[in-house]
Amino acid sequence: MTDAAEQKMRFLYALRSKGVTDARVLSAMEKIDRGLFVRGLFADRAYEDMPLPISCGQTISQPSVVGLMTQALHVGPRDTVLEVGTGSGYQAAILSLLARRVYTVDRHRRLVREAQEIFRKLDLVNITALTADGSFGLPDQAPFDRIIVTAAAEDPPGPLLAQLKIGGIMVLPVGQSDAVQSLIKVTRTEAGFEYEELRPVRFVPLVEGLASE
Ligand code: SAH
């Protein structure tokens, strides 16, 4: 077996052993090469199950957390998904193989630009990446079947709850940035919102307003 094939096998094995068992999610994660989304110093660690630094002082999430969040989101082929926190673009690329359309926003225009380049290279034409403060959602494209937030807020932002369709699911980390946060799954029903706590996680904070670069 080549080194690359062995690396990929270990990567997928680590995902499964951490509870990522959904076949569609595993297949999407097999197809999207995480190595493309990690640049510079840390590029050779792209296939390890750990978060890594990216531009603008942000991080690409740990692959098993990406897998577990994607799995909890139950994305279907007709779904329109909003991601808040484009970062490297890795999570959006995986979602794009599972959903009809993905909108992803980040407050750093540089991250959005770099992610767009990779989406173009991979021909992921169903992703729209925009520079925006995602705490307000994306009112022009709302409502969404699925919303995923990859930065931690103290509470689920009201505009995001409002932009979720009935029957829709939102997965997000909540809690203070310096404390242990909880990954939460919110389901919108006819009667209101149901909350389920999934597991402890650690994410960079959701910050208000656009960044300077
Ligand atoms: N999903 C990413 C990881 C995201 S890291 C990946 O797959 O690589 C969290 C990202 O959230 C950072 O890039 C940060 O800039 C962004 N972010 C923080 N607050 C935000 C806000 N209010 N609106 C949009 N993006 C925000």
Report the nearest-CA residue for atom 19 of ligand 1. 206
- Kindly write down the DSSP assignment for every residue of 48-95, as one continuous string: SSS-EE-GGG-EEPPHHHHHHHHHHHT--TT-EEEEE--TTSHHHHHH
CATH topology of domain 3-201: Rossmann fold (3.40.50)
Angle at 45 between CA 44 and CA 47, to 5 degrees: 105
- Residue 87 CA to ligand 1 centre (angstroms): 5
Ligand 1 atom closest to the CA of 206, numbered from 1: 19
- Kindly write down the DSSP assignment for every residue of 148-211, as one continuous string: EE-SBBSS--HHHHHTEEEEEEEEEEES-TTS-EEEEEEEEETTEEEEEEEEEE--PBP-SS--
pTM for the full predicted model:
0.97
Q: Which of 50, 106, 160 to mutate to test the pocket of ligand 1 (most atoms within 8 A of CB)?
A: 106
96 in ligand 1 pocket by Cβ < 6 Å? Answer: no
> What is the dihedral angle through the alpha carbons of 12, 14, 18, 22, rounded to the nearest 10 degrees?
10
The residue with tokens 């980390």 is: 173
For the chain, which residues make up each domain, given as ranges? Answer: 3-201
Per-residue pLDDT of the chain (213 residues; tens, 9 = 90+): 788 889 999 999 999 999 999 999 999 999 999 999 998 889 889 999 999 999 999 999 999 999 999 999 999 999 999 999 999 999 999 999 999 999 999 999 999 999 999 999 999 999 999 999 999 999 999 999 999 999 999 999 999 999 999 999 999 999 987 788 999 999 999 999 999 999 999 999 999 999 988
Angle at 117 between CA 112 and CA 121, to 5 degrees: 145
Report the nearest-CA residue for atom 14 of ligand 1. 85
Q: Which of 62, 70, 150 to mutate to test the pocket of ligand 1 (most atoms within 8 A of CB)?
A: 150
